[in-house]
């Protein structure tokens, strides 16, 4: 598939991915030591929901727009609030017209001692990302292929942080490249946290990726932890828009699984299309 983000910004997959991203970074903030975020496929950073690309699919209307209007329990609402606060900060007039991508969401959660490395090789997207970050001294935009960036930027000098791997899945071998890239990075930095996003259109491809990543983590000298999260808004039908996406979380904060069990059930109804959505959260087997 070809996942060009301008067409899909703010959709259900973004909502799930970015809620998890914010929860991880919130936990990294709890210790005073600096951390770094490495975004291997950063994109343009900010997306105009009134643009032709966004209007063509209108996916944000069944994604972030619904979540902004949804009512949550006090417990789930408190966990989701930091993410929604960031989205609202990009829409001061209340009308939802802008959606921040992963690097801008991460930037919003950096403290003065923290840093962001955002990699983007596509010239137009990279130019927009540089403009969005306004040459921020805490954020560096790098003209480097994300798969080359994985081993190049780990371990970071801060020794703490998160690597976000979120490729566009334009190439047929993207799942294999993700597995190989993660293996190379994890060998150099087994104590880092990793967040891997993937479209869930092929059960064989997603299962193979999960088993491979879980095996790498389990075979480390000091084994870490791995979580697999998949969220579906409708049955996935060949030739139709993406209806299911997943995340692999390596070395997640210890409370994150419990938090997701609170958050995800309350996202099933607002994000579901033609009925409630569904999720699975599990520890993948090697």
Render pLDDT for 117-137 as a digit per residue (tens, 0 to 9). Answer: 999 999 999 999 999 998 899
What was the pLDDT predicted at 4? 60
Q: In whole angstroms, give the CA distance from residue 273 to residue 234.
A: 6
Q: Distances from the Cα of 45 to the Cαs of 56, 116, 119, in angstroms?
A: 20, 13, 11
Catalytic residues: 166
Q: In whole angstroms, give the CA distance from residue 116 to residue 229.
A: 25
Band of pLDDT at residue 2, cut at 50, 70 and 90? very low
Tokens 């942080």 belong to which residue?
161
In the chain the domains, ranked by start, together with CATH numbers, are: 5-282 (3.40.50.150)
What was the pLDDT predicted at 59? 92
What was the pLDDT predicted at 52? 84
Mean pLDDT over 196-209 rounds to 94
Instruction: Single out the residue of 256, 234, 238, 236 nearest to residue 247, CA to CA.
Output: 256
Q: In whole angstroms, give the CA distance from residue 143 to residue 135.
A: 14
What was the pLDDT predicted at 51? 87
Q: In whole angstroms, give the CA distance from residue 71 to residue 174.
A: 37
Q: Distances from the Cα of 231 to the Cαs of 73, 93, 260, in angstroms?
A: 20, 31, 12
* ω into 89 cis (within 30 of 0): no
pLDDT at 1 exceeding the cut of 60: no
């Amino acid at each position: 598939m070809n996942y060009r983000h301008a067409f899909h910004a703010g959709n259900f997959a973004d909502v799930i991915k970015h809620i998890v991203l914010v929860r991880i970074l919130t936990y990294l903030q709890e210790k005073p030591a600096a951390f770094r975020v490495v975004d291997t496929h950063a994109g343009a950073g900010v997306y105009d929901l009134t643009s032709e690309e966004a209007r063509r699919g209108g996916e944000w209307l069944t994604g972030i727009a619904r979540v902004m209007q949804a009512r949550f329990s006090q417990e789930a609402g408190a966990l989701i609030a930091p993410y929604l606060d960031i989205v609202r900060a990009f829409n001061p007039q209340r009308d939802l017209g802008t959606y921040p991508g992963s690097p801008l969401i991460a930037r919003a959660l950096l403290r003065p001692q923290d840093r962001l490395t955002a990699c983007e090789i596509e010239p137009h997207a990279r130019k927009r990302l540089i403009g969005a970050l306004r040459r921020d001294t805490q954020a560096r935009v790098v003209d480097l292929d994300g798969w080359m960036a994985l081993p190049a930027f780990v371990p970071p000098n801060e020794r703490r942080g998160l690597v976000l791997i979120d490729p566009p899945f334009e190439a047929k071998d993207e799942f294999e490249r993700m597995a190989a890239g993660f293996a190379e990075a994890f060998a150099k930095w087994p104590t880092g946290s990793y967040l891997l996003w993937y479209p869930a259109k092929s059960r064989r491809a997603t299962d193979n990726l999960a088993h491979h990543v879980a095996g790498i983590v389990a075979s480390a000298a000091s084994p870490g932890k791995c979580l697999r999260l998949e969220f579906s808004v409708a049955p996935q039908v060949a030739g139709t828009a993406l209806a299911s996406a997943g995340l692999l979380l390596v070395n997640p904060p210890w409370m994150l699984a419990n938090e997701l069990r609170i958050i995800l059930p309350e996202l099933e109804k607002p994000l579901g299309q033609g009925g409630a959505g569904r999720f699975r959260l599990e520890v993948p087997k090697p």
